[in-house]
Amino acid sequence: MSENVGVSFRDLLAYNHSETERWHRFFVEHPHALALEVGGQMGTVSKLLEHIFQVELYYATRLSGKEVVKADFKLQSDSIDDVFYLHEKAHGLLAQYLSTATEAEMSKKHHFDFDGGFDASTRKMLMQFFWHGINHWGQVALIVRQAGIPVAKPRDIILSHAIQ
């Protein structure tokens, strides 16, 4: 099989960004949905979104070679634009990283201190970046639908114009 067979991380980033922009527009139109309860440690949809974007920013910061500073992950306010700004920041960092990333860098190991400590490749970190978001966006969609708020067409990748 050719190395060029498959979906690129740039394609996945384009999809991630386009879907996040759709959700941003949704929450601007339905700000009351941010207060919906999600249970667990997150509490509300707003806090779950903050979590999604903080994780994106964490991985994008690490991959870009910048120091991870917890203060950079804090919101300045609870406004919807500030919440989504975390995504914009992460997207910019990751887009810049992917524009020059090489195949050799995909195997580079990165050390993590949590969960007993472990190493993960760049490729695995990128997959975590995307999978984490997809997982939580599914939760958001379910919670919003259960509250009776229509979220328009399904957000399936097959309907996205971000990937050809």
Query: What pLDDT is attached to residue 163?
Result: 75
- 1 within some domain: no
Number of domains in the chain: 1
pLDDT digits (tens, 9 = 90+) for 23-48: 999 999 999 999 999 988 889 999 99
Q: In CATH, what number is assigned to the domain containing residue 153?
A: 1.20.120.450
Bridge partners of 37, per DSSP, are 44
Q: What is the pTM of this model?
A: 0.89
- 145 within some domain: yes
**Once rounded to an integer, what is the mean pLDDT over residues 142-158?**
84
Other C-beta atoms closer than 10 Å to the C-beta of 104 total 8
- 150 within some domain: yes
Location of structure tokens 């966006």: 137
Alpha helices in the chain (DSSP H): 9-29, 45-63, 80-100, 122-146
- 4 within some domain: no
- 3 within some domain: no
- 48 within some domain: yes
**Once rounded to an integer, what is the mean pLDDT over residues 1-19?**
82
pLDDT digits (tens, 9 = 90+) for 50-109: 999 999 999 999 999 887 767 666 766 678 888 899 999 999 999 999 999 999 999 999
- 149 within some domain: yes
State which residues form the domain around 81. Answer: 9-159
